[in-house]
């Protein structure tokens, strides 16, 4: 019973610290935050932060894992509402483009991407993140082909094409948000993707 209670407190603390890291990184960026910032954000001592996380990297890896789990959870909660692969792929694309609206989250993701050449652990975490996006997309495309609503296609290639459109557009918007109407262009791209994959 005591072990269970200790484990529960430990999970609560780790979650509290991870949420604080999310807030701090979204405000300050990866390079400009310290463990002391996390400590101040939570009101916990820096020693306690180090008790749960070895270092800044360890904390951020936990954050990226949690963000990945949250994305999947959000996507799955939308997907279970329908059996129609057409609705599923539209939802998938809309949710992917919609990340820009979650400004804090988007800034943290961009920061994580910038770490891939500096940290092998961060690179591996990003590889898993991208793989999970592709896997989800591939599963929907396969279902659509199986149900006869999508054309026969190379689903791996198509998942990369879809994600490249989404992420490339997001990065351009991040760099210069006045360059184009993000909402309008993301809708056009979704419609274009649908025109490519739907059976006539």
pLDDT exceeds cutoff 80 at 67: no
* CATH number assigned to the domain comprising residue 22: 1.10.10.60
Q: Are residues 89 and 142 in the same domain?
A: yes
Average pLDDT along the chain: 85
Count structural domains, the chain: 2
* CATH number assigned to the domain comprising residue 181: 1.10.357.10
The residue from 10, 35, 53 where one domain ends is 53
Phi, psi (deg, nearest 5) at residue 115 = -90, -10
Over residues 129-140, the pLDDT tens digits come to: 889 889 999 999
Over residues 29-63, the pLDDT tens digits come to: 767 778 888 888 888 888 888 888 888 778 778 87
Domain interval for residue 13: 1-53
Q: Are residues 104 and 171 in the same domain?
A: yes
The whole-angstrom separation of Cα 166 and Cα 158 is 12
Q: Are residues 35 and 130 in the same domain?
A: no
H helices of 80-154, where?
Answer: 85-98, 103-113, 120-146
Among 109, 123, 122, CA closest to 173? 109
Instruction: List C-alpha distances in Å: 55 to 37, 46, 61.
Output: 13, 11, 10
66: Cα within 13 Å, side-chain hemisphere? 18
Among 32, 143, 140, 149, CA closest to 96? 140
């Amino acid at each position: 019973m005591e072990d269970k209670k200790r484990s529960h407190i430990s999970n609560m603390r780790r979650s509290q610290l991870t949420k604080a890291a999310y807030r701090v990184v979204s405000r300050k960026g990866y390079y400009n935050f310290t463990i002391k910032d996390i400590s101040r954000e939570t009101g916990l001592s820096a020693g306690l932060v180090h008790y749960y996380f070895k270092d800044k990297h360890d904390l951020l890896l936990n954050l990226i894992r949690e963000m990945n789990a949250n994305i999947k959870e959000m996507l799955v909660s939308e997907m279970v509402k329908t059996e129609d692969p057409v609705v599923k792929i539209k939802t998938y694309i809309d949710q992917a483009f919609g990340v820009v609206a979650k400004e804090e989250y988007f800034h943290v993701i961009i920061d994580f991407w910038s770490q891939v050449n500096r940290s092998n652990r961060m690179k591996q975490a990003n590889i898993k993140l991208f793989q999970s996006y592709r896997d989800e997309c591939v599963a929907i495309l396969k279902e659509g082909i199986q149900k006869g609503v999508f054309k026969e296609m190379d689903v791996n290639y198509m998942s990369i094409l879809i994600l490249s459109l989404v992420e490339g557009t997001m990065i351009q918007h991040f760099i210069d948000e006045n360059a184009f109407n993000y909402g309008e262009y993301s809708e056009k791209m979704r419609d274009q993707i649908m025109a490519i994959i739907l059976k006539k």
